[in-house]
Structure 1
């Protein structure tokens, strides 16, 4: 099986190079499209989050969200004076 593939590669190296370059260019363009869309989405989200009024931002060093119950912290902050709303953003 590998012998046949190697034989075809040696005999038709021009076709192999053309196919390889075509696949490489297509993959690069596809990846660039995905990265561009992600960048646009990030910028839109960043601009939208700038319009949200935030007074307190808390962060936890424990990154395992299944091990930590954030609802207790949210309830404690919600009971403080002059707190209008609390929301978890993970």
Structure 2
């Protein structure tokens, strides 16, 4: 009988130590999980607050030639997705001009009249506040800004390769743009 009481005594003492250790680990786990959840919640709220200040969440590029009505259809389809606040179509072309050993890179962007880009533009030098057809602004920080003046007309020659029939091959397109102002961003 004394052996059984000794075994029961040791078993109860071990169970008490096990219960104390288990309770300590559970409390520590709960404490650190609460801290982690709080940090995640704070990080998510901060991220969402910062994302509200970013005008662009996603940009879509196409290497193929699409007609403007296809871009409008795509913009309308994207605009119907829940959570999308605004959709803009911006067309860009990069021109590379090589004269001797000098390279000049010009990026031309076509932006819709309702774009948020205009919110950050400051027209200087008595330029027009609204662009018309075939009119452009020049960024005052660009290298070309001191080479052109208000009301100058510049001609941009786009060379591209057309895969369309009846005569696939290299094509040229000249676009004349009137400078109606200089802008600061």
User: TM class, shorter-chain normalised?
Assistant: 0.5 to 0.7
Match of 1:75 in 2: 61
Counterpart in the other structure of 1:19: 21
Count how many residue pairs are aligned between Structure 1 and Structure 2. 61
Structural RMSD (CA): 3.0
Q: Structure 1 stretches of 5 or more lacking a match? A: 1-6, 59-72, 85-90
Select the structure of larger CA radius of gyration: 2
Give a deviation string over 1:27-64, Cα, whole Å, max 9, x none: 1111111111111111001001111224xx67xxxxxx
Aligned match of 1:10: 11
Alignment of 1:1-90 (within 5 A): 10-11=11-12, 12-54=14-56, 74-76=60-62, 78-79=90-91, 81-82=110-111
Q: TM-score, normalised by structure 1?
A: 0.52
TM-score (norm 2): 0.28
Moved over 3 A (4+): none
Q: Structure 2 regions of 5+ residues with no counterpart?
A: 1-7, 63-88, 93-109, 118-185
Hey, what's the Cα distance between the residues in 2 that align with 1:78 and 1:22?
60
Q: Distance in 2 between matches of 1:28 and 1:78?
A: 50
Distance of 2:51 and 2:42 partners within structure 1: 14
Structure with more contact order per residue of length (Cα contacts < 8 Å, sep ≥ 6) = 2
Richer in strand (by share): 2
Distance in 1, Cα, partners of 2:30 & 2:21: 14
